Chains A and B, each alone.
Chain A
Amino acid sequence: MSAPTTSLRAALLAGLAIAAAPLAAQTYAITGAKLITGDGSAPIENGTIVIQNGKVVAAGSSVAVPAGAERIDAGGKYVTPGIFAGFSRVGLVEVDAVSGTNDTQANSSPFNASIDVAPAINPTDTAFSVSRAAGVTRAVVSPDAATSIFAGQGALVDLGEDFDAVTIPRAFQFAEMGERGAREAGGSRAAAHTLFRNALREARDFGNRANVRGGGAAQSEGQRLSDVSPDLRMLESNADRPQDVLLTRFDAAALVPVVQGQQRLLVHVESANDILRTLDLKKEFPNLRLVLVGASEGWRVANRIAASGVPVIASALNDLPASFEQLAATQSNIGRMRDAGVKVAIGMIDDNDAHQLRYASQYAGNLVGLQKVPGATGLTWDEAFAAISGDVADIMGVGDRYGHLRVGAAGDVVLWSGDPLELSSTPERVWIDGVEQSLDNRQARLRERYRTPQEGVLPKAYER
């Protein structure tokens, strides 16, 4: 067995030991950091961040280190909030093409809007450990549409190495309203809009009759998913419904907080026209808390998106007319929307969104590089990092608790070997909720086993 393998094992054991230790009591300070807070502001040189009881208690340039705190010298390296994956399906898939491990969609389910991904999210999926090792600490996790424009309810998760991944279950409803939505609705965009309006009217009616409330961000701080009340919308209402409804009782109940504005509605649209027609829905349902997802042609109607106040989780590098709804796709999309005043973050819809959350930093870096291309609109480095951290949290309504290194926020911290957006950099240490994480995973184990491909005195199966 080679020396590196041994050291890897030691590192792993150390990681496990840390994970097993009681976390809440720890206080530690990372000093000498090039500190990125995640809100798009300039880096703080020689910054300090103090984490206590899993939360940030101080962050800045002139921060006193509390007595008794463990000190970690960053040596001038970048210290950032963990990456917050803006749109993903992490934890819902181990192997895409192995259906038993793929919980992204349910083609034969009688339900749609009421589907809640929280119990399906599996933090032991390899993508959790691989993404964590790349500095991803939080993610938006969405179901995929299957039998309706409504895909169901997504969650916010952390990528920590425990069984309590779900930070907020039922954080949003996800709907398809572009080409995909047209297909799921029976064949046309007109049908998608009709289905949408009917569904929300049924939900509004049901909400009034049954006095259904809430259902969204039901989890309070420190709770585990198993401590969170079941979705009461599903269980407690026996109110009568008219005979001529289309939605199942559960699906109608699930849409009540959407129409009442208590739960975000993430809508995937790409074309400029579909974006505007989606924004129009607010005229009929004024309480909708819309978030646009994808939005490859957003730049063409950026002023109108900005005026609507609706934020966008956009694909960063779409620049092909991959479909007729993306004819005007350009990598300048995010930069142009931002310049127009749109609140915009980076997401990865339909783009290796279960396995490659680690591309977020590369995508953000590409938008920085775009600044050097004449005629293109990119992002500054500070804006780009915010687009994969604080901006995601803000758009999802949890900017006070996640995505930023600010007082009161979770201790989701990454110490990087170099510029976090550069291809040669990697996380050296990662903390989630103040708990240091192992960066080990099965890819690392395979690497060590096959560091030299030839078999030794025993078959490879004995090297571990």
Chain B
Amino acid sequence: MKSTTGIAAALLIALGGCANTGGSTASASSKADKQPTALAAGEAPFASTYRAYPSTPTVVRNVVIYDGEGARIDNGSVVMSGGEILAVGDGNLAAPAGAIEIDGTGKFVTPGIIDVHSHLGVYPSPGVQAHSDGNEATDPTTPDVWAEHSVWPQDPGFSRAMANGGITSLQILPGSANLMGGRSVTLKNVYSRTVQGMKFPGAPYGFKMACGENPKRVYGGRGRKPSTRMGNFAVNRQTWADARAYRDNKDHKYDLGNETLSGVLDGKILVHNHCYRADEMAQVIDMAKEAGYKITAFHHAVESYKIGDLLRENDICSAIWADWWGFKMEAYDAIPENAAILQNTGACVIIHSDDENGIQRLNQEAAKALADGRRMGIQISDAQAIRWLTYNAAKALGIEDKTGSLKPGKMADVVLWNGDPLSVYSRPEKVWVDGALLYDADDPARRAVSDFELGQPGAGDVK
């Protein structure tokens, strides 16, 4: 079944129906509980244990480079050493001692591709009910849940995302059945026995919100609020008002949900808001101003092209597909020129997948969006289109100082493509994460096989 996770989640998630009365707002308490844990001060729970795998200094020469920030270098070189980008420039860069030299003639280098909207791990393959852990939709707001507690690190999808899509980092989001789906987690696309072993070191948390059809349908279908768009706003606004009171009045019982909401209000947790319609995004922007938080990105945002100026002025990215449309009413006005019109308006564009298949072809999605823009007369460079799935994505995840472009000192998250990544005929040839070669099309030993697939038909096959 190739029906997309996003749609499947949206259409099918309205199961269950646990009674739940109070939302997740704080109940008043006379006890001024601090964080009720045994962790030392400043120590984060569920901390990342990811460590870069061993790497060999590597130079790729004679290659076309898209640096992720909008520049293109023909006949260039990329030097990686110690897990970091050492240098990027013309063909004559010096190689560190003992470096592997790769001739990139006819090939292309980009930063590792970043997907800001994935449900790998939380809606993994196989898509059986026992694996359906992506949305705690039992309440219209569940700011207390964290996606990382649902991630199954053995999802076979991670390996396809790397082998075909060159994905090196990705944000795993809760689903969109409820208004506040919970915290996201940003991962390195590196298999691990544990989720902590995949967590991107130092990445801020994200917070998933959803407006529009999904929440009102799911809860309206259960005979409870919200059943309308105005209900959506009412529940959200009250939740934010309560969260502000929680944050500003320290005399309360520790509350997981309000801790997350406080993190959003303090600007430490980045808001990723699923929203389709232009008019609705405009109202969500005003709601955020009222509540006192910043929206980092609208996701799906199929009507962003109608309000590119508003999004630019409010410094909000649109994380979008190239051409999905028509699967529900709020996706009816989607057009394939969405990205190009936004770019032309000066607003931030990110190409995302929300799909275990689409994540394998984000480069192709960008290529389609680029071509559609050029056909309407909007000239966008190839290198700029690559920025949509590298630097802009990193920025929306708050990791742009670490990855997302080929700049000295950044993580050596790099893809060598066997041709122009904006061509349908090209695939990753090699993928490095922190300088470690974790996919090599020429070496079956550099092809990850998850526990689930080991010993199954097709294990280790090209995918």
Contacts and interface: CB of A to CB of B under 8 A. Distances in A.
Interface of A: 4, 93-98, 126-127, 130, 272, 297, 300, 315, 317-324, 326-332, 350-352, 354-356, 358, 362, 365-366, 368-370, 372-376, 421-426, 443-444, 446-447, 450-454, 460
B333 interface: yes
10 contacts: A95-B331, A319-B164, A326-B126, A328-B456, A329-B458, A352-B327, A372-B426, A374-B442, A423-B371, A447-B337
A97 B213 contact: yes
B156 A369 contact: no
Given A4-B377, A321-B125, 15 more contacts: A4-B376, A97-B329, A317-B360, A320-B125, A320-B160, A328-B456, A331-B463, A352-B324, A356-B323, A368-B424, A368-B425, A369-B424, A373-B427, A422-B423, A444-B335
A368 to B, nearest CB: 6
Given A362-B424, A423-B424, A453-B309, A322 B1 contact: yes
B462 A376 contact: yes
B210 to A, nearest CB: 15
Nearest to A300: B457
B371 A424 contact: yes
Contacts of B427: 369-370, 372-373
Given A321-B453, A323-B127, A372 B157 contact: no
A365 B2 contact: no
Interface in B404-431: 418-419, 422-427
B132 interface: no
Given A95-B326, A321-B125, A322-B2, A365 B463 contact: no
**Interface of chain A: mostly helix, strand, loop or mixed:** loop
Interface stretch (B37-45, B61-69, B300-308): B300-308
B260 interface: no
A455 to B, nearest CB: 10
A92 B420 CA distance: 37
B124 to A, nearest CB: 9
Given A328-B457, A372-B419, A454 B326 contact: no
Contact of B160 (A95, A319, A326, A373): A319
> Which 10 A-B pairs have CB atoms at the shortest separation, nearest pair first?
A328-B458, A365-B424, A97-B328, A351-B2, A369-B425, A328-B457, A319-B463, A423-B367, A424-B371, A376-B462
Nearest to B334: A443
Nearest to A96: B327
Contacts of B48: none
Contact of B328 (A4, A98, A324, A356): A98
Contacts of B334: 443
A444 to B, nearest CB: 8
Contact of B11 (A97, A424, A450): A97
A385 to B, nearest CB: 13
Nearest to B340: A447
B53 interface: no
A80 B441 CA distance: 33
Given A321-B452, A322-B125, A447-B335, A355 B462 contact: no
B364 interface: yes
Interface in B1-51: 1-4, 7, 10-11
Given A319-B164, A369-B425, A443-B325, A450 B457 contact: no
A300 B4 CA distance: 26
B3 A451 contact: no
